Amino acid sequence: MNDVNWGVLGAGWLVKTATGHAIHNAQGATLYATGARDLARAEATGAVKTYTEYQNVLDDPNVDAVYICLSNEAHLPWIRACIAAGKHVLCEKPMVLTEADAVAVFAEADAAGVLLVEAVWSRWHPRMRRIVELATSGSLGEITNYLGTFTFDGVDPDNYRLSPDHGGGALYDVGIYPLHGLFGVLPQVESVSVLAAEYTRTDRGVDLTTKATLGWGDGSQGSIVGSFVMPESQRLTIIGTHGELRVEDNEAFASFGKPTQLWINGHIEDFSSTDAYQVMFEEVSAKIRGKDGWLLPHRDSIRVARTVDSLL
């Protein structure tokens, strides 16, 4: 089978700096069409075809799959438009804003015979894949404690991330990463309980910081922090009854294009420089082409959305 022809909806900062290049570099993938309101931005992605209307990307018969990189509130309607057009979909996180919507669109995609995948790129990073492997294989025993943080200080006041009308907020934007890490290492846990939560919000109700303590099983606990106003931090520590692992480079969820390490029970494992966005497009493209490829499970996206519902 030929390469998967990808269409891209949106040509903002992420596409310009990371995901556009990742598609170009990915084996089995071609950046065939980009749709953006600004034609110059679409053309800058290097796509074969460019459009100023998103629907034109979906109407292009040569497009096999669509990557959605729009503001959060636009994800759901464009996912549904892609499904209606018979296109496979890879949608930036948060894929949708509620558990009910996640359950619904996964069912719609399944019924239409197309793939729908949430683009939580950190889950494709080899180090995170190793973390999940260790935690789920029994190597650490029963997971009893989890700490995941993703914080930084500085979002432009006019950025959509601070708009309630655009699905803004720190939990949706960066808190989603430690939540996906948590559920990745807890495949047996269907839901977690919120034991405590603390928020800093704007006068429009958008969370600038969300801190939460979550519980599961018989006394096990996890803490997650997502913030737009705290010092930069990407910490990850997982403790089990038989061991402990942690990331010490402060880039637990967004390491890009550099070697990484993982501390496991006193010894270090090394990982080569990786573009996890490229790996993500290669794996999804492989699956579309009928080959082996790892996809983020629907269940993980649903469990994360359920937890976000309970926190917001």
Tens of pLDDT, residue by residue over 83-99, are 999 999 999 999 999 99
pLDDT at position 157, please?
Answer: 87
To which residue do tokens 């969300």 refer?
A: 210
CA dist 293 and 284 (Å) reads 6
* All domains of the chain in start order, with CATH: 4-119 (3.40.50.720), 126-273 (3.30.360.10)
Local mean pLDDT, 10-residue blocks, the chain (312 residues): 94 97 98 97 98 98 98 98 98 98 98 98 98 96 98 91 95 98 97 98 96 96 98 97 96 94 96 97 98 97 98 94
What distance in Å separates the CA atoms of residue 218 and residue 110, rounded to the nearest whole number? 35
CA distances (Å), origin 22, targets 2, 46, 123, 256: 18, 12, 16, 11
What pLDDT, on a 0 to 100 scale, did the predictor assign at position 158? 86
Q: Give CA separation, 262 vs 128, 249, 274, in Å.
A: 9, 9, 14
**Nearest C-alpha neighbor of 188 from the set 96, 299, 33:** 299
In tens, the pLDDT along 232-282 reads 999 999 999 999 999 999 999 999 989 999 999 999 999 999 999 999 999
Sheet holding 49-51, edge to edge: 49-51, 29-35, 4-9, 65-68, 88-92, 116-119
- The tokens for 79 are 């996912």
Rounded to two decimals, the pTM is 0.96
In terms of residues, how long is the chain? 312
| pLDDT given for residue 204 in this prediction | 94
**Which pLDDT score is estimated for 262?**
98
Half-sphere exposure of 56 (CA within 13 A, CB side): 14
- What pLDDT shows up at residue 1? 66
Question: Is the distance from CB of 244 to CB of 267 less than 8 angstroms?
Answer: no
